[in-house]
Amino acid sequence: MSEIQANKLSPSSGTALQIGDSGDTITIPSGATITNSGTATGFGVAGTESFYVSKTGSADQTLTNQTYTKMTFDSEGVDTGSNFASDKYTVPSAGKYFFEAQVKGQSSTDSKIQIFVTAIYKNGTMVVRNHNELTAGYEKMISKNVSIVLDLAASDYIEVYCYLGQAGSTTLTVAGDGYGATHFLGYKLA
């Protein structure tokens, strides 16, 4: 093993500088710092894509009993790549993404909700759901969240759906309370 000490490495004119060959391991020791003043390619994606949307207090959404309904969001807190629109997130570049959604459902009268589901859809098809089936006693209000990590291609799209089943005749809504009780978020992991 030998050591080269230099203040600068430059490629020949009109070429690119390569360090190592395929299969080699390049080690950056503990305490060393990599400073980038140019364009970084392939050095991670943390923080490059993220969004957070929610419902506000004036935006309750009425649901049809026993029907999956696409959630609408009227407050956009974060959208780093401007990829959230028309109540869905469209993936800008392939990679691994994390998504989380929470929905707060309520009935207009006491003791009516029997089934409550929050689901995440990819390209129009359910990929994960979390639900309560309240067979012994009914609830007037309930919140449910769901999360998932997905490998996605550019142009895939992600949406949130809710399903409420109720006994009797009542109005079912998804609450917009201004405190994030109903929200949808995601970010790129790698």
Question: Structural domains in the chain?
Answer: 50-188 (2.60.120.40)
State pTM to two decimals: 0.75
Q: Which residues in 33-43 are b (16+ Cβ under 10 Å) and which e? A: eeeeeeeeeee
Residues in the chain: 190
Q: What is the pLDDT of residue 79?
A: 96
Q: What is the pLDDT of residue 137?
A: 60
Q: Which amino acid type is present at position 171?
A: T
Q: What is the pLDDT of residue 159?
A: 98
| Grouped pLDDT means (10 residues each) for the chain, 190 residues | 77 78 79 69 66 84 90 93 96 97 84 85 98 73 92 98 81 80 94
Q: What is the pLDDT of residue 175?
A: 77
Q: What is the pLDDT of residue 135?
A: 67
**Pairwise CA distance, residues 122 & 146, whole Å:** 14
